[in-house]
Structure 1
């Protein structure tokens, strides 16, 4: 498809390749991480005897954001970011901190069990993926996360069979927003970046990262003043509803 833009007496013609594949972020795009994390934090607060669930949830979310970003930058290991999150929150509420890594890991596993109980896909996710599959588009996931956990999420929420490939930052050795992560996704999908639409919630990691690799990008912003959801992907990819 050609799009023309007139500039004075001249017209610039830009060739746009049709979308042949769609890549998705996982957390907060296909998977309701925030809902599961908040519900898990509430249950964990009750387990620890913390009465103010709202304050605990806020502290847990802030610690997660800080320490996960440190892991993403390669400053600490994935296990260490979990331990540091736990220590930060326990100290805020004056709770006993386990003496060693094994104790911290065992306590964090209790939270993980509560978090996992609430794993859900966003309601429209499966329908949208099915529509893309009917349109014969390739479908992939590119996520900053640990290989085992991210693939387990897709399986538990019922989306594993609805996508063709899954790239985790742990598996490919590079994190979003690095353009090389998106290049790896395109290669595994069997398309060039210009034939791929990438969908995610994070303006930097997902949108700017995808565009830096030459992909088109769509931001999913459910809490924005003018919110959207995954059904917007169908229009962006040129798929009839």
Structure 2
């Protein structure tokens, strides 16, 4: 059974970030009458900032970045209805290949399910596993989600995981005998280099247009 990661695998994670920053900017303008917050966030992201975007954007527009404010902004960001779309190569793949397919994705459950809904993935995925539905500690590389996918698959079916982040995505399915495929998209968020051989995928592709040949080989 073919199982996918979500962020930077089926769509570009940066698009969710830009959508969230725009929504946060609208919220700041509605609540405080301050313009430009969302654009400041986007500019900081594009400059490489990841850890303190909201703090620095608050400073730029003159908003006090106390703990409560940052928590409110994070809530708006995580729970907004995202404006995102599947990558073109993913759309082509779903148009020519039939499932069943699965999905394993980390992150807060509501945020990830909002992404799944915005992308229309319910039409393509038979088994959706957001690890954020479980207590902390069950995200990748914990084996629980992979075990669930194995249970859902037809006995004897080859398990394949397609994902982007070698820091956590491949070490567990490789150890369980899955085939692992890394998608290395331009515009990805995470570094594509594996920390060691155990974490490295069996093969690396740049587009789902290459996936048919990998699966056939």
Residues 216 and 164 of structure 1: is their aligned pair in 2 closer, same or farther, counting only changes over 3 Å? same
One of 113, 120, 132 as aligned partner of 2:97: 132
One of 213, 234, 237 as aligned partner of 2:176: 213
Tell me the residue number matched to 1:163.
125
How many residue pairs match? The answer is: 191
**Which aligned pairs between 1:18-37 and structure 2 lie closer than 5 A?**
21-37=1-17
Residues 210 and 229 of structure 1: is their aligned pair in 2 closer, same or farther, counting only changes over 3 Å? same
Tell me the residue number matched to 1:121.
86
State the SS of the aligned residue for 1:236.
helix
State the SS of the aligned residue for 2:177.
coil
State the SS of the aligned residue for 2:21.
helix
Rg larger in structure: 1
State the SS of the aligned residue for 1:235.
helix
Output the TM-score relative to the length of structure 2: 0.69
One of 176, 182, 187 as aligned partner of 2:140: 176
Separation in 2, partners of 1:230, 1:116 = 26
One of 91, 94, 116 as aligned partner of 1:154: 116
Matched, 1:198 2:185: no
Separation in 1, partners of 2:23, 2:122 = 27
Aligned-pair distance for 1:214? 1.5
* Structure 1 stretch displaced more, 38-47 or 153-162: 38-47
Aligned-pair distance for 1:213? 2.1
Tell me the residue number matched to 1:57.
45
State the SS of the aligned residue for 1:217.
strand
Separation in 2, partners of 1:112, 1:155 = 14
Aligned-pair distance for 1:57? 2.2
RMSD of aligned alpha carbons:
3.5
Residues 204 and 98 of structure 1: is their aligned pair in 2 closer, same or farther, counting only changes over 3 Å? closer
